[in-house]
Amino acid sequence: MMKKRADNSPEVPLPAPEHIDEKDVFDAWRNGDIDMVCVLGPTASGKTRYAVRLARTFDGFNGGPCTEIISADSRQVYRGMDIGSGKDKGEYGEIPLHMTDIADAGERYNLFRYKNDFGRVYKDIRSRGNLPIMCGGSGLYIQGAVNDHAPGRTFFIGVLVSREERNARIDARLDARIAEGLVDEVQKLLDGGLGADDLIYYGLEYKFVTHYLTGVMSFDEMRYHLGNAIHQFAKRQMTFFRSMEKKGTVIHWTEV
């Protein structure tokens, strides 16, 4: 295995963590002060687990189901791209999940389509008197959907994790996904008729595993470069979220 290259490039400073009073957030929704909660954070921050726990907490305050989760991930929209995109559907349990598996692998789903699809799901959830919890790390999708459908009515919660812990989680999760069958998933997509360029377009896991399967990289090279690429991606996510704050979005950052 190739030695991991240290990532020493600058990163935006982390904000100070807040305590989130979940009952206050729930009451704000009940009182009509907010229409949606958005849980965001970089990859491997634990945002999905937190969003699910938050949904169950809100359901408990309500005395019954009242929450539904909307994915804000640019790759989880694709069918057959489960391991590489980290759908982890088992984490959601009884909580309804929307905006995954809505496009065929090979399509070029985009922000415009996401905003339209999100709008339909968001309005449907609210028409049934339920609380949407948006959860994801695709900043452009989050920003676009909120600006189009809930400006000023969304309570943002950011999941904080140190750079060192985040990178350690990324490495451990990548190894777990490889063990789970990531390479086989990409091979199945190739065998199903997708071209290498189609998969490379999706980036990260699909790009580097395709390079490995087509002989461009060895397995060790794939693992090495993919791990570093995910580290860089997580850093860009945090930069984007902090830029949202500079433009006026209030994000309540918390450690979970």
Q: Does a structural domain hold residue 63?
A: yes
CA–CA gap between residue 73 and residue 140 (Å, rounded): 10
CA atoms within 13 A on the CB side of 110: 2
Q: Model pTM greater than 0.85? A: yes
CA–CA gap between residue 108 and residue 194 (Å, rounded): 12
Residues 145 and 222 both lie in one domain: no
Does 2 have pLDDT greater than 60?
no
Residues 156 and 31 both lie in one domain: yes
The fraction of the chain above a pLDDT of 90, given in percent, is 93
Q: Does a structural domain hold residue 9?
A: no
Q: Does a structural domain hold residue 139?
A: yes
Question: To which H or E segment does residue 157 belong?
Answer: strand 154-160
- How do beta strands 67-72 and 131-136 pair? parallel
Residues 59 and 147 both lie in one domain: yes
Mean pLDDT computed over every residue of the chain: 95
Q: Does a structural domain hold residue 196?
A: yes
**Tally of domains within the chain:** 2
Instruction: Quick: pLDDT tens for 25-34.
Output: 999 999 999 9
Does 3 have pLDDT greater than 70?
no
Does 8 have pLDDT greater than 80?
no
pLDDT band for position 152 (50/70/90)? confident
Residues 225 and 249 both lie in one domain: no
Residue 155 · residue 249 · CB < 8 Å: no
- DSSP-assigned beta bridge partners for residue 131: 67
Q: Does a structural domain hold residue 16?
A: no
Residue 207 · residue 200 · CB < 8 Å: yes
Instruction: Quick: pLDDT tens for 202-252.
Output: 999 999 999 999 999 999 999 999 999 999 999 999 999 999 999 999 999
The pLDDT of residue 123 is: 97
- Residue 41's domain comprises 22-161+238-255
Instruction: Quick: pLDDT tens for 88-137.
Output: 999 999 999 999 999 999 999 999 999 999 999 999 999 999 999 999 99
Does 1 have pLDDT greater than 60?
no
CATH number at residue 54: 3.40.50.300
For residue 153, the one-letter residue type is R
Which segments of the chain does DSSP mark as H helices, in order? 22-30, 47-62, 111-127, 139-149, 163-180, 182-191, 196-201, 204-213, 219-246
CATH number at residue 212: 1.10.287
Residue 208 · residue 222 · CB < 8 Å: yes
Q: Does a structural domain hold residue 149?
A: yes
Q: Does a structural domain hold residue 2?
A: no
* Cα 26 from chain centroid (whole Å): 23
